[in-house]
Amino acid sequence: MWKKIKIDGKEFLLKHIPVGSAHKIYVTDLVQLWYEDLQGEQLLRRCKELNKLLEASDDVFHDYILSLLESEADDIVRSFTTVDDSKTLMLQTNLEVFKFRIKFFLKPGSHSEFYEEVTRPLLTVVAEMERRHHLLVEAIKGKDLEILEYKLEGGQISRKAVETTPFDLNAFSTKCAEDVSTTKSVVVSHPSQTFTPFTQDLIEKISAAPVLPSKTLS
């Protein structure tokens, strides 16, 4: 799952994927993608080299590293050093009297990697939201039809305060269009804010779903 973080005051997304004993680190600003693949032993050696004053077991070091990767907290210091197209990401936090730090040496990802990790998940969310929008509209229309049949059979709504007018899709779409500038402003100014818990959960569920034979959206 992507974590919303700030590096040198700028918004980024970070994702850690454990693969057996190995680790894959992704960082993106939603324009470019950087990553590092490394084995668990390599990560531990790097950690111990950077934290020579700290004595701890491998499991404790591992937990410290995960806490830096999985947290969105602002008390973690995150900084970039850039050389050509590559970046070194430093994560640092305070452990009582010690500063604990870890570095990741990130290479630029290819266009296909950016598509797989960023673009395609977002496209699937758009497609799924379109599908859910269609189902929701049909459900509302069905409820309107039930209410109409109820009234035609002589039924009455006892509480006028809860009585609603039939759903008008065109009016609903027009109302939504009036507020689209607000949505656009958020995306332009803070693109990582689109990765809400709802969106993240949807991405996780879609990623875990099997791929069925090719179909088109209705």
The CATH number of the domain holding residue 12 is 2.170.210.10
d(CA 195, CA 114): 16
The answer to whether residues 186 and 199 touch, using CB atoms and an 8 Å cutoff, is: no
- Does some domain include residue 216? no
Residue 202 has pLDDT above 80, yes or no: yes
Residue 56 has pLDDT above 90, yes or no: no
Count of structural domains, the chain? 2
Look up the domain containing 67 and give its range: 3-109
Same domain, 183 and 122: yes
pLDDT digits 0-9 by tens, 33-44: 999 999 999 999
β pairing state of 3-7 and 10-19: antiparallel
The better pLDDT of the pair 211, 109 is held by 109
Sheet with 86-95: list strands edge to edge: 3-7, 10-19, 22-28, 33-39, 98-108, 86-95, 77-83
- Does some domain include residue 67? yes
Same domain, 119 and 76: no
pLDDT of residue 217: 64
Residue 218 has pLDDT above 80, yes or no: no
d(CA 88, CA 145): 60
* pTM to 2 decimal places: 0.81
pLDDT digits 0-9 by tens, 79-91: 999 998 899 999 9
Q: Which among 21, 23, 47, 19 has a CA at the least distance from the CA of 35?
A: 23
- Does some domain include residue 218? no
The predicted model gives 137-150 an average pLDDT of 87
pLDDT digits 0-9 by tens, 147-181: 888 888 887 777 776 677 888 888 888 888 888 88
Q: Of 109, 142, 164, which residue constitutes the final position of a domain?
A: 109
